[in-house]
Structure 1
Amino acid sequence: MNSNFIFHAGEATVFAAEGQYTDAMPEILIGRSDGPVGQAFANMMAQSKGHTAMFAIRACNQMVRPPTILVPKVTLRDSANIELFGGVVQSATADAVVDCLIEGVIPREHANDLCIISLVWIDPRCATHAELDKKDMYRTNYEATKLAIHRALANEPSVDELIANRHSIRHDMDDWS
């Protein structure tokens, strides 16, 4: 792991069980609270309609360290999706951050010096899906957040990997090439 905590970015995708709309695709920024990530973190405190940011908490009065803010990537238009964001997704994110501390992915000695911004995807169809599986939604968000944090702090994928795979890996939604 790189001990330079100025600015680290990571992402991960974990797919949902068949027939669910609970894929998780967090995009993570981790950095020192007195650096550019900390400045962005503070700027995220301003609310915008449909994109309410919130801290990752494990329960009331149990905000995680490093402080982590979740911001939806899509406009949350109804209370059902807002409840998923502030319930299942918030819980999964918080647990992933704490487990990254426990496992040493995030060094404990830096927990109060760093902050995390997590841009979170919630499929707008998710909340109204008749067979919504909240356990699967928790699983995908938990696994993807842990993986994104690991990748951010390990600077993955490496430049060599990106270059080596330039012509052999395509975007999952690529139907134009």
Structure 2
Amino acid sequence: MPTPFAPAALIGESFVGDGANAAHTNVVIGHKGGPVETAWATALATPSAGHVPFMAVVRPSVPVRPLTLFVSKAVAEEDLHQQATWGSAQAGLAQGVADAVDEGLIPAAEADDLLIIAAVWVNPAVDDLDVSFRNQRAAAYGAVRAAVTGTPTVAEVQAAAKEGPTNPFYTPSAEVLAR
């Protein structure tokens, strides 16, 4: 029986919530021994100023399985933003991945053979750690689900594109969209 993790990498994305406590997560999932492992190890070994990748843990000394690398998209400078990045968002990421294993999106029998790289957005204006956790948990699970199921499909993307692009930071006007 073929495994859903046969490709060299699965890629998914999810955005959950709104405002300062929204979570945006991108994941790459792949087998140890493949290109994802190379990227995982390289990212861990080559931090840059303000962006120090770290393993997501369910609790101290209990890393989530598959081993998941948290890569921050925003430099954590203020105290609450640091707490959200290393605390609530990291815990939400770990719990979202654990949820995906618990629900069978990632087969538990394969969890030790896989690695996940998660690029995570935590807004510097975050103001509620509990909402940050809930949103990140849902975004992590959603990104894994999207990676495993190959969603959205090309047809779904094209249908959405016909309505016009939008995101929490920008929606083009009808005039701008006109060709």
TM-score, normalisation: structure 1? 0.88
Question: Aligned residue for 2:21?
Answer: 22
Provide the secondary structure at the position in 2 that maps to 1:141: helix
1:39-68 Cα offsets, whole Å, 9 max, x none, are 110111122111111111011111111000
Point out the structure with the larger strand share.
Answer: 2
Alignment of 1:19-98 (within 5 A): 20-45=19-44, 46-98=46-98
Mapped contact 2:5–2:30 kept (Cα < 8 A):
no
Q: How does 1:64-143 map to 2 (within 5 A)?
A: 64-126=64-126, 132-143=127-138
User: Aligned residue for 1:6?
Assistant: 8
Residues 65 and 5 (structure 1), Cα distance of their counterparts in 2 relative to 1, 3 Å cut: farther
Change (3 A) 1:79 1:49: farther
Q: CA deviation at 1:5?
A: 4.1
Q: Map 1:139-150; keep pairs closer than 5 Å.
A: 139-150=134-145
Post-superposition offset of 1:84 = 1.5
Please tell me whether the aligned partners of residues 78 and 124 of structure 2 are also in contact (alpha carbons under 8 angstroms): no
Find the aligned partners of 1:98 and 1:34 in 2 and give their Cα distance.
Answer: 22
Instruction: Report the alpha carbon displacement of residue 4 of structure 1 after superposing the two structures with TM.
Output: 1.6
Single out whichever of 2-11 and 32-41 deviates more from structure 2: 2-11
Distance 1:72 1:166 in 2: 28
* Unpaired segments ≥5 residues, structure 2: none
CA distance in 2, matches of 1:56, 1:107: 19
Q: Read off the aligned partner of 1:28 and give its amino acid letter.
A: V
Alignment partners' CA distance in 1, 2:74 and 2:91? 19
C-alpha deviations, 1:87-145, integer Å up to 9, x for none? 1011111111111111001011111111001101111122xxxxx22111111100111
Percentage of pairs with the same residue: 28
Q: Which moved more, 1:155-164 or 1:53-62?
A: 155-164
| Runs of 4+ residues over 6 Å off in structure 1 | none
The root-mean-square deviation of aligned C-alpha atoms, in Å, is 1.6
Contact in 1 for aligned 2:96/2:138 (Cα 8 Å): yes
- Runs of 5+ in structure 1 lacking a partner? 127-131
Return the match for 1:166 from 145, 161, 164.
161
SS at match of 2:162: coil
Aligned length: 169
TM, length-normalised to structure 2: 0.87
Q: Deviations over 1:63-86 (max 9, x none)?
A: 111000101112223443222211
Q: Secondary structure at the match of 2:105?
A: coil
* 1:15 CA drift (Å): 1.2
Contact 1:37 1:115 in 2 (8 A): yes
Residue-by-residue CA offset, 1:20-45 (whole Å, 9 max, x unaligned)? 50100001111112111111101111
Q: Is the 8 A contact 1:5 1:114 kept in 2?
A: no
Aligned mates of 1:40, 1:166 — CA distance in 2: 31
